[in-house]
Chains A and B, each alone.
Chain A
Amino acid sequence: MNIKENIKTLVIKKPLKLDCGKTINNFPLAYETYGSLNKNKDNAILVFHALTGDQFVTGINPVTKKDGWWSYAVGPNKSIDTNKYFVICANVIGGCMGSFGPSHKNPDTNKIFGTDFPVITINDMVNAQVNLLDHFEIKKLFSVVGGSMGGMQVLQFISNYPDKASTVVPIACTSSHSAQNIAFNELGRQAIASDHNWSNGKYLSNNTLPDKGLSVARMAAHITYLSKKGLQEKFGRKLQERDALKFGFDADFQIESYLRYQGSVFVDRFDANSYLYITRAMDYFDLVKQFDGNLSNAFKKTKAKFFVISFTSDWLYPTQENKDIVIALNAIGADVGFVEIKSDKGHDSFLLDVPDFLKTLKNFLDKSYIER
């Protein structure tokens, strides 16, 4: 895929010391913006994307030619209203939509990094993205918003930069990646690693792609983004373009065909090594441990207004894990609101057309913007 054109990139000259101990500098951070920055530069919202997202939040993604990943929530008159707010979103480092990642060349060896790319963390991701504030001369963001891994970045961001956002909206996320979630991520990574074409991560130099492995990883992950009820209602035991079972291993059921399709389209837009790096960053995320077992201390220095949102059918980042964030904030008297939105759409609810969620997010932002 030719992604070079259409991608805005900020080259970050300032050295960034990564959690793994290595330091990177002069690295590209790809980003996109929507709406316009006002005169006071106080209407900016930094949106953080999830595992397989990118900087193309809304409108047509110029690379995939499909709708941006958060088109339901971001745009003119939408929850994150681009008529009102200046929305910035960057591709995370380790990603594959233009930001510094494993498919880039190592400037020291002039070879593609592959798995020689340093292991990055959620902390590294936000420390890279904070440079965008200097770039746009924004002293304080109006809001930081994100779901899933985006929510983890939201929490890390406000912990690292307590004065750099007025409102904080972590959605369907956690302060500490659970064993179950690490397990699912490991399943995905092993699927990729067991594809012969992966070649220990050197597939780009070998001109092969571990498509099979990456697509299995995506299929497994995709199940975790939905709910049992949602799957049952959408697919049930419906058959795929046939009247009876074929007594073979083709996709008899619609759900099989659907998952295969999801796997196959994913490999066209995502890099297998990036998948390894980003899932690793999620697994390493443990804000509780960063603050010696007391999550409240992560938020002690900020006066920001928090709003935490979870979904009833999300079993990947269940309400209780979101509520732990609320509890930690209440323990220090922080300004925090919380709602669990009713939805059958599982973890993916935050990306989909869930009117109660979209309305609540809009209400929170718009009211807070007036009262800021």
Chain B
Amino acid sequence: MKTEYKIIVDLIEEKTRVLDVGCDDGTLMESLKKNKNVDARGIEISKDKVQTCVSKGLTVIEGNAELDLKQFPNDSFDYVVLGQTLQAFVNPEIVIKELLRVGKKAIITIPNFGHWKVRLNLLIKGTMPITESLPNDWYNTPNIHMCTIKDFVKFSKIINFKIFKSLALTNKNISNINNSNLFYKNLFAELGIFLIEK
């Protein structure tokens, strides 16, 4: 399993209710059910992936986070997970607010656009960066709102949510992000993982 998923599983308390937004093939949900005994639900936009989830016995609805979070009442989940898709939404602010309305807490992971390879790529080639985690060209990427770890931290102050825990993933190593190391983490982390609250 991806290190990212292991970190998310660790962040989540046992026997809670979790909504995985963009649950993909259900790998994370399965692990949460198995290791943390959670009541896991998923939303997934791809029909094929919903069908894969169903074949694993997972409760998943086909849908789009921007349209379908509406149907859940306030605080219906202990955690809402959004893995590496915030940058794909038309309005990330509304999505974060919806995540924190539906869930008491949210876990958001973001591919870090501040990573040195991305910066170097743009600096040297002068074209939009293409890396392992961001493999698309500018014209066909679903990622229309890329941000850096630093941007996300700034965003929390702008739209007013609390970051409870922030973790950086660098070469499968996990470390804490704090004010004093933000510059370095923003340069070296591939992924930022944030546990946030209203």
Contact = CB atoms under 8 A, between A and B. Distances in A.
A is bound by B: yes
Nearest to B63: A338
Given A330-B71, A331-B73, A339-B47, A305 B55 contact: no
A39 to B, nearest CB: 24
Interface in A139-173: none
Contacts of B50: 337-339
Given A331-B72, A338-B62, A307 B57 contact: no
Chain B interface size, as a band, is 10 to 19
Interface string B48-71: 001101111111111100000001
A342 B50 CA distance: 12
Interface residues of A, number: 24
B71 A331 contact: yes
Contact of B47 (A326, A336, A341, A370): A341
Contacts of B17: 333
A335 interface: yes
Contact of B56 (A331, A340, A367): A367
B76 interface: yes
Interface string A266-304: 000000000000000000000000000000000000000
A351 B122 CA distance: 55
Contact of B54 (A330, A331, A360): A360
A356 B51 CA distance: 8
A371 B57 contact: yes
Contacts of B51: 339, 356, 359-360, 363
B121 to A, nearest CB: 38
Contacts of A337: 50, 53-54, 58-61
Nearest to A328: B71
Nearest to B56: A367
A364 interface: yes
State the main secondary structure of chain B at its contact with A.
mixed
Contacts of B62: 338-340
A336 B59 contact: yes
A365 B60 CA distance: 14
B47 A342 contact: yes
25 contacts: A326-B61, A326-B71, A330-B71, A330-B76, A333-B76, A336-B61, A337-B58, A337-B59, A337-B60, A337-B61, A338-B50, A338-B60, A338-B61, A338-B62, A338-B63, A339-B54, A339-B60, A339-B62, A356-B51, A359-B51, A360-B55, A363-B55, A364-B54, A367-B54, A371-B57
Interface of B: 17, 47, 50-51, 53-63, 71-73, 76
Given A333-B73, A339-B61, 20 more contacts: A330-B61, A331-B71, A331-B73, A335-B59, A337-B58, A337-B60, A337-B61, A338-B63, A339-B50, A339-B51, A339-B62, A340-B47, A356-B47, A359-B55, A360-B51, A360-B54, A360-B55, A367-B54, A368-B57, A370-B57
Interface of A: 305, 307, 326-327, 330-331, 333, 335-342, 356, 359-360, 363-364, 367-368, 370-371
Which A-B residue pairs are the 6 nearest by beta carbons?
A367-B57, A338-B61, A363-B55, A327-B71, A330-B71, A339-B50
